[in-house]
């Protein structure tokens, strides 16, 4: 089902059949919770709906077209960069705590698709996190690492055009993590992740290492970067975006006077400037004091309004005039002087910022990064993210590596995979007669999810036909599971054959398959 079909009013099969028995919204990167209502993520955490920018994505992956990838944070710069042939990157990691399963395949596919669209691709093994947060031995980690990498390569990752690495052996990541750690603190990690006095320091260090992983693709140059993850990993993305900003030498914002204003205050100041014809003695040069009087006459009980009025009153006769502001966040004297020199046209220099009157915001952002890079700064762009729905377990509820019957490992014997599908819970009715009369509940069916997420491949028409036949009562669960089981067996046979074929490719890849930390 394509985005055009959805927009034209054609019923689109839902692919989030895991709602039954799921927990309430809780984004815990190490927990076992699932998400019962994905809509709440838009409201509570600011995740944006992916469908709104689907048209901007070049040759969208079927996971995007079918709504399996349902949300994003700031993905548009990545989509635009790929469409224009500009530098972009994709990175995601895998904690090697068990066998890779069909849920992990979603992330494998997302990395590989971005690589095929021209993005620099990074696949990392989060072995430090596995050791610190899950307590796995290095021997266990090495075994699982090999299995994850073989599946990633078998599905199409190109190691010559991308990079594979382990956290524990990547010195650049560890050095960046040290620098990022200077900008983070315990109270912040406690607030985000619930860390307390009993939390291991190594666990906290693993978080900062993950932040370094997320920003690692931009070490050589800033570029739009996407992190494909499940929504439970969103706390990591939000923290990484914050740290990317804190590592910047300069911030760029809009201002209207010499004083600093919060974002909320700035909205009121901007409104006063737009309304200057209504109150200013000289509308071409409104005064801050005049703007304060006008704002005070407006109805509203907003603390930001009151503080904006106070700041405007204190500025008095200073002209209210829009300008682009460069804020000095962490630049040394040489870098700040370099910025002052680089800003052309009319400008005003203050102790901690520079106001430019002839620069648009976009040009100012570019200039700030150029100066920062010239003075050994990072100039990170905020990393983007895309979020896919959780797969429902074959037994209902969540798919869990600790419940073998709930998932299909990419290493399962194909016959075992066949039997797991045949034994799976469905969204069917109690009897065949009821199914024919009322139709099945494909939206609540783990077997239909297998079609939508994996078995239908790139064939949208096939996925929709399965859905329509189910809800229309033309498809009975027994036949449907038999077809799905056969397709799953074929997939596992093909995948495992390809794993054998890429063994030499893995041996030649520049990644350590045996940890030097093994005892």
With a cut of 50, say whether residue 23 has pLDDT above it.
Answer: no
Per DSSP, what are the bridge partners of residue 110?
Answer: none
Which pLDDT does position 459 carry in this prediction? 96
Q: Which of 23-32, 300-309, 347-356 has the lowest mean pLDDT?
A: 23-32
Q: 3-11+34-247+382-388, what's its fold?
A: Rossmann fold (3.40.50)
Which pLDDT does position 25 carry in this prediction? 41
Edge-to-edge strand list for the sheet holding 225-229? 48-49, 69-73, 384-388, 225-229, 89-94, 120-125, 163-166
Q: Kindly state the tokens that stand for 273.
A: 């400037």
Which pLDDT does position 37 carry in this prediction? 65
- The band of 518, judged by pLDDT with boundaries at 50, 70 and 90, is confident
- The band of 11, judged by pLDDT with boundaries at 50, 70 and 90, is very low
**What's the whole-number mean pLDDT along residues 404-427?**
93
> What whole-number distance in Å separates Cα of residue 187 and Cα of residue 180?
15
> What whole-number distance in Å separates Cα of residue 441 and Cα of residue 475?
11
Three-state SS across 298-312?
A: CCCCCHHHHHHHHHH
| Eight-class DSSP state of 208 | H
- The band of 9, judged by pLDDT with boundaries at 50, 70 and 90, is very low
Which pLDDT does position 112 carry in this prediction? 98
Q: Kindly state the tokens that stand for 145.
A: 């690492």
Which pLDDT does position 32 carry in this prediction? 43
With a cut of 90, say whether residue 110 has pLDDT above it.
Answer: yes
With a cut of 70, say whether residue 87 has pLDDT above it.
Answer: yes
Q: 30 or 426: whose pLDDT is higher?
A: 426
| Residue pLDDT, tens place only, 419-453 | 999 999 998 899 899 989 999 999 889 999 999 99
Residues 6+ apart with CB under 8 A from 77: 224, 381, 384
Q: Which of 15-19, 98-102, 252-256 has the lowest mean pLDDT?
A: 15-19
> What whole-number distance in Å separates Cα of residue 2 and Cα of residue 209?
38
Which pLDDT does position 392 carry in this prediction? 87
DSSP 247-285: T-SEEEEEESSSS---HHHHHHHHHHHHTGGGT-SSTTS
**What's the whole-number mean pLDDT along residues 26-44?**
55
Q: Which of 103-117, 146-160, 401-415, 470-484 has the lowest mean pLDDT?
A: 401-415
Q: What is the CA radius of gyration of the chain?
A: 27
- The band of 107, judged by pLDDT with boundaries at 50, 70 and 90, is very high
pLDDT above 90 coverage of the chain, percent: 76
Which sequence spans correspond to the domains of the chain? 3-11+34-247+382-388, 250-374, 404-508
Q: Tell me the C-alpha to C-alpha distance, in Å, between residue 420 and each of 102, 344, 393, 428.
A: 13, 67, 11, 17
Three-state SS across 16-32?
A: CCCCCCCCCCCCCCCCC
> What whole-number distance in Å separates Cα of residue 145 and Cα of residue 425?
31
With a cut of 60, say whether residue 503 has pLDDT above it.
Answer: yes
Per DSSP, what are the bridge partners of residue 421?
Answer: none
Q: Under DSSP, is residue 287 helix (H, G, I), strand (E, B) or coil?
A: strand
Q: Which of the given ranges, 46-50, 100-104, 414-418, has the highest pLDDT on average?
A: 414-418
Q: Tell me the C-alpha to C-alpha distance, in Å, between residue 119 and each of 76, 155, 195, 387.
A: 14, 17, 35, 18
**What's the whole-number mean pLDDT along residues 218-231?**
95
Q: Kindly state the tokens that stand for 442.
A: 């494909």
Which pLDDT does position 299 carry in this prediction? 78
**What's the whole-number mean pLDDT along residues 489-498?**
98
- Residue 225 and residue 384 in contact, taking contact as beta carbons nearer than 8 Å: yes
| Residue pLDDT, tens place only, 165-217 | 999 999 999 999 999 999 999 999 888 888 888 888 888 898 999 999 999 99
Which pLDDT does position 46 carry in this prediction? 84
**What's the whole-number mean pLDDT along residues 348-354?**
95
**E strand or H helix that includes residue 130:** helix 127-133
> What whole-number distance in Å separates Cα of residue 277 and Cα of residue 364?
28
- The band of 34, judged by pLDDT with boundaries at 50, 70 and 90, is low
Which pLDDT does position 402 carry in this prediction? 66
- Residue 291 and residue 272 in contact, taking contact as beta carbons nearer than 8 Å: yes
- Residue 37 and residue 25 in contact, taking contact as beta carbons nearer than 8 Å: yes
| Residue pLDDT, tens place only, 297-317 | 987 788 999 999 999 999 999
pLDDT above 70 coverage of the chain, percent: 92
> What whole-number distance in Å separates Cα of residue 510 and Cα of residue 143?
17
Q: Which of 21-30, 314-323, 401-410 has the lowest mean pLDDT?
A: 21-30
Per DSSP, what are the bridge partners of residue 325?
Answer: 253, 355
404-508, which class in CATH?
mainly alpha
DSSP 387-443: EEPPPBPTTSSB--TT-GGG--BTTS-HHHHHHHHHT---S--SSHHHHHHH---GG
**What's the whole-number mean pLDDT along residues 389-401?**
81
- The band of 92, judged by pLDDT with boundaries at 50, 70 and 90, is very high
């Amino acid at each position: 089902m394509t985005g055009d079909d959805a927009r034209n009013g054609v019923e689109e099969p839902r692919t989030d059949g895991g709602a039954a028995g799921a927990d309430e919204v809780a984004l815990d990167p190490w927990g076992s919770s699932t998400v019962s209502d994905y809509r709440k993520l838009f409201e509570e955490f600011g995740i944006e709906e992916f469908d709104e920018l689907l048209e901007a994505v070049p040759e969208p992956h079927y996971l995007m077209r079918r709504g399996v990838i349902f949300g994003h944070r700031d993905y548009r710069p990545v989509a635009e960069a790929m469409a224009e042939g500009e530098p972009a990157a994709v990175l995601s990691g895998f904690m090697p705590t068990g066998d890779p399963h069909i849920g992990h395949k979603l992330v494998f596919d997302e990395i590989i698709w971005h690589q095929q669209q021209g993005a620099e691709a990074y696949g990392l093994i989060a072995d430090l996190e596995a050791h610190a947060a899950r307590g796995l031995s290095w021997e266990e980690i090495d075994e699982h690492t090999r299995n994850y990498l073989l599946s990633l390569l078998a599905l199409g990752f190109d190691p010559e055009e991308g990079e594979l690495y382990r956290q524990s052996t990547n010195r650049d990541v560890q050095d960046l993590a040290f620098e990022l750690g200077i900008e983070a603190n315990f109270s912040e990690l406690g607030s985000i992740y619930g860390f307390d006095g009993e939390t291991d320091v190594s666990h906290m260090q693993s978080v900062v290492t993950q932040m370094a992983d997320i920003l690692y693709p931009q070490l050589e140059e800033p570029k739009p970067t996407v992190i494909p993850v499940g929504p439970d990993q969103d706390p990591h993305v939000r923290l990484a975006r914050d740290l990317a900003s804190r590592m910047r030498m300069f911030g760029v914002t809009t201002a209207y006077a010499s004083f600093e204003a919060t974002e909320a205050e700035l909205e009121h100041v901007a409104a006063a400037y737009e309304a200057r014809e209504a109150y200013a003695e000289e509308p071409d040069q409104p005064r801050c004091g005049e703007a304060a009087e006008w704002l005070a006459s407006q109805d509203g009980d907003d603390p930001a309004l009151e503080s904006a009025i106070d700041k405007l009153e204190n500025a008095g006769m200073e002209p209210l005039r829009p300008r682009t502001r460069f804020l000095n966040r962490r630049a040394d004297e040489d870098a700040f002087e370099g910025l002052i020199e680089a800003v052309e046209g009319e400008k005003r220099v203050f102790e901690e910022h520079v106001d430019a009157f002839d620069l648009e915001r976009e040009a100012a952002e570019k200039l700030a990064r150029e100066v920062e890079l010239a003075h050994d700064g990072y100039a990170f762009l905020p990393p983007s993210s895309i979020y896919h729905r959780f797969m429902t377990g074959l037994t209902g509820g969540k798919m869990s590596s600790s419940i073998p019957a709930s998932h299909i490992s990419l290493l399962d014997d194909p016959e075992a995979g066949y039997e797991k599908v045949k034994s799976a819970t469905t969204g069917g009715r109690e009897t065949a007669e009821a199914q024919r009369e009322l139709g099945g509940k494909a939206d609540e069916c783990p077997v239909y999810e297998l079609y939508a997420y994996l078995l239908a491949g790139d064939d949208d028409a096939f996925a929709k036909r399965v859905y329509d036949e189910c809800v229309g009562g033309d498809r009975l669960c027994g036949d449907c599971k038999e077809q799905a089981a056969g397709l799953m067996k074929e997939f596992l046979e093909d995948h495992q054959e390809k794993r054998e074929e890429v063994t030499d490719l893995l041996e030649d890849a520049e990644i350590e398959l045996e940890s030097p930390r093994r005892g």
